Structure formats: C-alpha cells, structure tokens
A and B are shown apart, each in its own frame.
Chain A
C-alpha cells in the first residue's frame, strides 16, 4: 500500500512484509494441510501472488511466530522501476513453490468452511458450559424445601428399616443394645433382626429370652436366616456374611444395615432412609 512511493522506507517495509509473510507461511501451512486432505497440493506449497503479499503487510511486532524462526528462509527482493512494485519472494528450504492446484474461490470457501466449523464448535462448547453452571450453583428455593419437608411428614415408615444380624449370643446382646438406642432416640423406621434359624424365640434359652425382649420392647421384627459359615474359620468376619441377607429383605424399599459392635448416638431421620 504505502510501499508504492516510499522508497526510503523500503528496508523497514520489506522487513514488515517479511514478517507478515512468515505469518502467511504459517497460515498457508494449515491451508496446505487441509487442501492435501481434500486431494489437493500434496507436499507442495503454493506461494501467493505478490499483490497479496503487500496486502497482507502488518506490523512486525504483532506477528512473531517463534517456532518458525529456525526455518531457513530465503528472501528474494527486487524493485521494478516501471511498475513501481516491490518483488519479494520468500520460501523456506523445507517447501518449494509449485503451481497452484486449487482456485482462489475454492480456497476461500475451504478456509471459510474450516473456520466456520471451528467457531461453531467453540461456541457450542462454551454454551454448554454456560448451560450447566447455573444448575450446579442453584440455591434451593423455599417452596422446594417446604415440599420436601411435607414429603418427609408423609413418609410411610413401614417401607424402611434398620437391620441387624446376629450369629452368636454375644452379638445378640450387642444388637439388642443397638435396637434399644434406636428406640430410645425415637427412630420411626422399622427394625429387623436376622438371626440363625436354629434358634427359636419360643424356647427357654437365654437367646430366646433376648429375642422376645427385642420383639416386645423394641418392636423388632425377627427374621430367621441360614447363617453362612466358613470352614476352618469361626471369626466374626466370616459370619458377617449374614449381614448381606439384608439384600433379600425385599419387603422394604430401603434398609440401613448396621454392625452391632457399635453405638448409635443419634438418629437422623431425613437424610439416609427416605431421601430420594
């Protein structure tokens, strides 16, 4: 542009063009990759006409591409007095100029297509993030909390239960203590004790006495099960397989299985059992 009549500033302009052209080289490299994908230029690089070079001129400071610096550029400059045009031809040692294989319009369309796809996918991803984030930070409205509180009042507690398993008299005693705690702390959910089918709640044994106590005083339902035992191993761990019988208590929607070598200190009504 301003280059036409400014002969003194030629060298600085030329370096501007040089850098601008390096930008263009970088751009062309992309274009070249794409065009070869579409069956185009192969390994060759098309060098644009000099008018384009001049039109692309921009301040050198805005166009530093460090990773291209190591390329060996060859710059040929000549000034045509008659037409007042500056000739600059530059190409790297890695790529050689070759005849163009695609028309300018096709190239333009391809460039537009590619940038269109990039912009679209970029916008889509950003919009997706925007769509999600307000939900994550949503503050529960008062009406929602009220509705939940009302639902909590309406809970049918017969669908829920605490389950215990016992395999020997020691753990039966512990288990009774857990049910006593649940009873004392005012738990509204059902209570279920799974015990070995060999025991009978109606006999005169001490186990039977504790089973009856659980049933009468703490509203515990008694569920006889076949206690699984390991051969050669009588540890509590082995017998704690019995706790998995809780999965078979399909008369309940949800149960909380508690080990009985523990203490229940609080009953939290809402969060565990009836949460949806």
Chain B
C-alpha cells in the first residue's frame, strides 16, 4: 500500500498490491463483520496491515488530482527543496486518482457547472508573470477523462447529458 501522503500516518487503498489468500480473506471478513460505524475498507486495511505491509512509494504510483490544487507539494515530492513542475509530475506518475474536494468527480453532472470557478488558481512566479501550467495540466486531465468517458457513454450506456467534443473544448477554455 502507498501512504495516503496527504494525511498523516494512514495508508491509501486506492492502489493495493495484494497476494490473495484464503486465510487473509477470512480475517477481512471477520473484521468486516465486527466493524464499527466509522470503519470502511481503508480503516479495515489499515487496522489489519497498517503495521507490517510493504510501503509502495506514492510518488510515481499514486497521485490525487487535489495535488494540483494544493499550494504545498512537499508531501508528494518528499522534499521541500524540489521545485514543483506539474507537467513533469504528470509524466512520471502511473496512477492518478480523482479526489479533488470540493470539486466533484469528473462524471458528475455538477462537474461542468462548478468547473470554471473551482479550477486551480494560477501562480505568480518571481518575475510576477502568471504561471498557469498547473491549471493547464489539471484541465487536460479532466478533459481527457471527459472525452474518454463520452466515448464509452455513446457506445452503449448513457442516461446523463452528453458533451460534444466542441462543447467540451470551449467549456474547458473558460478560465476564471
């Protein structure tokens, strides 16, 4: 399991490497049956394996989209000396999870309504120019997902409002 690097001392269950085992499954079922009201899959995994699992490095293996909104990136980068480069980070990572509170999940019908005002702010760099690379990367990520989702929607299953690609493109160009 990787650390849930955006919280302290908890492992994330977004990506888990598991060696299936009947015995371990029994333990999990037992933990599930004796769960408390506040225990979900993540709590159970942390309770059972939090002390002795192998730690997957979160960097390169587990990134959350909220990171692009965050002002501090030390936790993800693992040091305060490295300079954040959204493009580079996106290129090195293999798994990107959509958790971007308060921004809704990208397939949500509210996601297009709140998009413009919820996108990450541009940063001012030392020459007082606006640096919008983080925002651009964030927009690309969501646009990519929406377009792929639309393809799979049109194929067979859709009850939700569809976006044409032109609409999507225009919609994502709206900054601020």
Contact = CB atoms under 8 A, between A and B. Distances in A.
Interface string B127-169: 0000000000000010011001100110111000000000000
Contacts of A256: 15-18
B40 interface: yes
25 contacts: A173-B149, A174-B149, A177-B145, A206-B156, A241-B41, A243-B13, A244-B25, A244-B45, A245-B25, A254-B20, A255-B18, A256-B18, A257-B16, A257-B18, A258-B95, A259-B14, A261-B105, A262-B14, A262-B98, A263-B95, A263-B98, A263-B141, A263-B144, A272-B17, A272-B56
A174 B149 CA distance: 8
Given A244-B44, A254-B17, 19 more contacts: A209-B157, A213-B156, A237-B42, A241-B44, A244-B28, A244-B41, A245-B25, A247-B20, A249-B20, A252-B20, A255-B17, A258-B95, A259-B15, A259-B97, A261-B105, A262-B95, A263-B96, A263-B144, A263-B145
B20 A246 contact: yes
Q: Give the contact-size bracket for chain A.
A: 35 or more
A169 B156 CA distance: 12
Contacts of B97: 259, 261-262
Identify the interface centre among A243, A256, A263: most chain B CB within 10 Å of its CB: A263
Interface in B101-147: 105, 107, 141, 144-145
A247 to B, nearest CB: 4
A169 B94 contact: no
B21 interface: yes
A208 B157 CA distance: 10
B85 interface: no
Interface of A: 163, 169-170, 172-174, 176-177, 180, 206-207, 209-210, 213, 228, 237-238, 240-241, 243-259, 261-268, 272-273
B32 A246 contact: no
Contact of A240 (B28, B40, B99): B40
Contacts of A172: 157
Nearest to A255: B18
Nearest to B57: A271
Interface residues of B, number: 41
B96 A238 contact: no
B41 A247 contact: no
Contact of A173 (B13, B61, B99, B157): B157
A273 B17 contact: yes
Contacts of A177: 145, 148-149, 152
A52 to B, nearest CB: 58
Nearest to A205: B157
Nearest to B157: A206
B3 to A, nearest CB: 16
B150 to A, nearest CB: 11
Contact of A180 (B13, B41, B95, B152): B152
A213 B153 CA distance: 12
Contacts of A238: 40
Contact of A265 (B13, B56, B95, B156): B95
Nearest to A170: B107
A237 to B, nearest CB: 5
Contacts of B28: 244, 247
The 10 A-B pairs with the shortest beta carbon distances in the complex, nearest first, are A266-B94, A206-B157, A247-B25, A262-B97, A209-B156, A248-B25, A250-B20, A237-B40, A259-B14, A257-B16
